[in-house]
Structure 1
């Protein structure tokens, strides 16, 4: 496991039980036509009131705010902004200016040190960073390429742009994302599993668990009330919130 300063890890740890989801985005649409990006203060209020979090933009903006409060320099990065494939993450800097990749949107388990000079930089496969997968990373200029190796032998990769995004551009992309609603509900979260952590996903009325032993597809559920119970079990989200949102999603199915 690569070293991460305690002060960076402590901020990250505040989000350990924060799912990434599009339910909250849709809920805002139900209240306000076209939707909008929430302020971090509002996100905190909604978390306290309903237990909810948000999508990758919500989580990244929230994480940036927490780093700022802790006196840690950080900035947003992303790719395919203002498109349906938009994704955003955060780079945090330690006291020496070394960078740590922080991706709550993809439910990473901990920040990833990415600069030369850090222990085992760009070495072999690493465990403990991504649920139910080993990773390997390389930097190509201002791009970070991450390879994911899952227990069933499946390999995939993702490329992240490391160039800082200006905050005005970040907020513009966030607004665009929040106004784009897809008809399929999505929620991902990290849950305890045996002696480790698994990745639980609910997408388009199906759920499955990614574990170190492989992918476990769960039995299909027929009724919204059943989904409310299982989502509440994994997230502790307010049941009334879940019922309202899922019933509206059901109308789009």
Structure 2
């Protein structure tokens, strides 16, 4: 399944952007409990600290880049303004819709206008995917190396931008107790997925999960995450310390 260059050219600008909740805690600590950052703030923070953001940050920024390129794009999601919220982006090109999910660290967008029944590689780290479209939603099935199949359902109707930003504010103010960071890591034969969650970290490849040895201190975790992402060490120590206090 080929993806138009016009879509991929925008999407690949975010190839080295992790998805994480560390920025949310750090920003909330500096800005009276937090809110959705502006595009200008996100660009400044990326330049200064190397940081990215969570699924709302990434979707908001991606929509902005598509619109600047003259491509219609809008947010989609489920369970907005709840603890289970997730958002992604749908971009339109040549009368076809492409799901773009930086929040789940997809490798590239995928067309959601027709079913895919045989698992496709190269779209999601360490998993093949199939696509089951319906009238106002699409279900993605993830086929893991160990034979496990998981799924996620996306509502494909556009989310009004005012509702999106209201849900984004809610999310940015809601700090979970377990820190999370996910990043795509190019390897020799594939793009792997490295995850830090609740003080554990592991690499997912086509051969399965490989857990890292435990880190003992905030400084050790900061250095490990810095080496995977390039994030500023001082930022990481502050953000991780905030989670330790929770």
Q: Same fold (TM over 0.5)?
A: yes
Structure 1 outlier segments of 4+, above 6 Å: none
TM-score (norm 2): 0.98
Deviation at 1:251, TM superposition (A): 1.8
SS of the residue aligned with 1:124?
Answer: strand
- Unaligned 5+ runs, structure 2: none
Quote how far apart the aligned CAs of 1:194 are.
2.8
User: Is there any run of 5+ residues in structure 1 with no aligned partner, and where?
Assistant: none
Cross-structure match for 2:171: 177
1:37 aligns with 2:30: no
Is residue 160 from structure 1 mapped to residue 154 from structure 2 by the alignment?
Answer: yes
Please report how far the alpha carbon of residue 122 of structure 1 lies from its aligned counterpart in structure 2 after TM superposition. 2.3
Q: Determine the structure 2 residue equivalent to 1:10.
A: 9
Quote the offset at 1:97 in angstroms.
1.7
Show the 5 A alignment for 1:158-237.
158-237=152-231
Distance in 1 (CA, whole Å) between partners of 2:46 and 2:171 is: 20
Aligned residues: 246
Is the Cα contact below 8 Å between 2:26 and 2:242 reproduced in 1? no
RMSD: 0.9
Q: TM-score, normalised by structure 1?
A: 0.95
1:87 aligns with 2:86: yes
Deviation at 1:33, TM superposition (A): 2.3
- Distance in 2 between residues matched to 1:181 and 1:97, nearest whole Å: 39
CA distance in 2, matches of 1:74, 1:247: 37
Q: C-alpha distance in 2, partners of 1:93/1:123?
A: 22
Find the aligned partners of 1:49 and 1:69 in 2 and give their Cα distance: 23
Distance 1:34 1:97 in 2: 41
Distance 1:78 1:11 in 2: 20
